[in-house]
Structure 1
């Protein structure tokens, strides 16, 4: 999928998701933050040192993540149970995982390992957080969805990372556009359910 196609697919899926939320889950829609700014997106791009995929830009330009807490809980918009990060939260999470990686290995060994893994193609499994990974969502329990910004044909794929295992599974989605399209389809097919408070959950 070329860049323009990815952006167009993402934007079309976002419109479908937004329409569904407004009609069926206004609480979940209300906790989405306003769009990220270009300054926010530049900060993310500078932190990772790589260009943001156009479909990720489209997502953050729709909503800068979701608020969550006792007074703002819309459930889990992203299956099977993830809450979207804001750009700021994504960068904080990335810094945290990188700090954890440094604490678990000797510095010289870590640098050589990360350099090697960071040069491998996107979608390659790794149990240590890599600089080219950018979080996009959290399960609020030690797990993240991230976009893999390493090179190769799977550039921009969406993978899962867990505190105790790392990223050991194949990519969950080919890219953010595919993820958003999947969410829009699954919402339309009534796969998600709403609790009594109007929060979204997935079976």
Structure 2
């Protein structure tokens, strides 16, 4: 099986040949220190295939990309700065929109955080969820950073059901493989 880097190169070559304007929206890779800083901030390990993803590109300029799609189901990858900003917003919204006391909220977060990666748990955003792609309509994809066999799985989320869904892909590598197949066919 090819690596994330190899699939990314195939994808970028196909986009460059078929849609140069879309290709121009891809941002260069972020400095490695930016990914390392994110990992320190999360205090959770980022899967190797997500590191590989960011070695290839720091997302796309979503405004310039317009209605184009990279990831099936209409998603575009966000730059790391947007990932950090969006994650903080989702965590704040999760806290502010619950009817729990601070202590009840903390216990609920701890309970859900101790479930294995890939386990759906209702409409609740967790610190171990790392958003990385959006479709512009309040729908996105997150990487589940909880421990377990599916650590690093890719899960869709919706505005009102942040954790109610099962993984769409078991890894970034599985996702990028499907993206490459899509662009090749």
The TM-score by the shorter chain falls in which range?
over 0.9
Q: Pick the aligned partner of 1:35 from 29, 41, 57.
A: 29
> Does the CA-based 8 Å contact 1:29-1:74 persist in structure 2?
no
Q: Pick the aligned partner of 2:103 from 108, 118, 121.
A: 108
- Higher mean alpha-carbon deviation, 149-158 vs 46-55, is at 46-55
Q: Which runs of 5+ in 1 are unaligned?
A: 190-203
Cα RMSD (Å): 1.4
3-state SS in 2 of match to 1:184: helix
3-state SS in 2 of match to 1:66: coil
- 1:76 and 1:158 mapped to 2: Cα distance? 17
Are 2:133 and 1:137 aligned? yes
- 1:108 and 1:143 mapped to 2: Cα distance? 29
Aligned-residue offset at 1:74: 6.3
Aligned to 1:79: 72
1:17-96 superposed matches below 5 A: 17-69=11-63, 71-73=64-66, 75-96=68-89
CA offsets, 1:137-162, max 9 Å, x none? 01111112010010110010000111
The TM-score, its normalising length taken from structure 1, stands at 0.85
> Does the CA-based 8 Å contact 2:130-2:143 persist in structure 1?
yes
Aligned-residue offset at 1:72: 4.8
Q: Pick the aligned partner of 1:171 from 142, 167, 174.
A: 167
Are 2:94 and 1:98 aligned? no
Q: Which runs of 5+ in 2 are unaligned?
A: none
> Does the CA-based 8 Å contact 1:27-1:74 persist in structure 2?
no
- Higher mean alpha-carbon deviation, 138-147 vs 172-181, is at 138-147
Aligned to 1:196: none
> Does the CA-based 8 Å contact 2:62-2:78 persist in structure 1?
no
- 2:41 and 2:105 mapped to 1: Cα distance? 19
Residues 64 and 74 of structure 1: CA distance in aligned 2, closer, same or farther (over 3 Å): farther
Ranges of 4+ aligned residues in structure 1 off by more than 3 Å = none
- 2:67 and 2:35 mapped to 1: Cα distance? 24
- 1:74 and 1:48 mapped to 2: Cα distance? 31
- 1:110 and 1:25 mapped to 2: Cα distance? 47
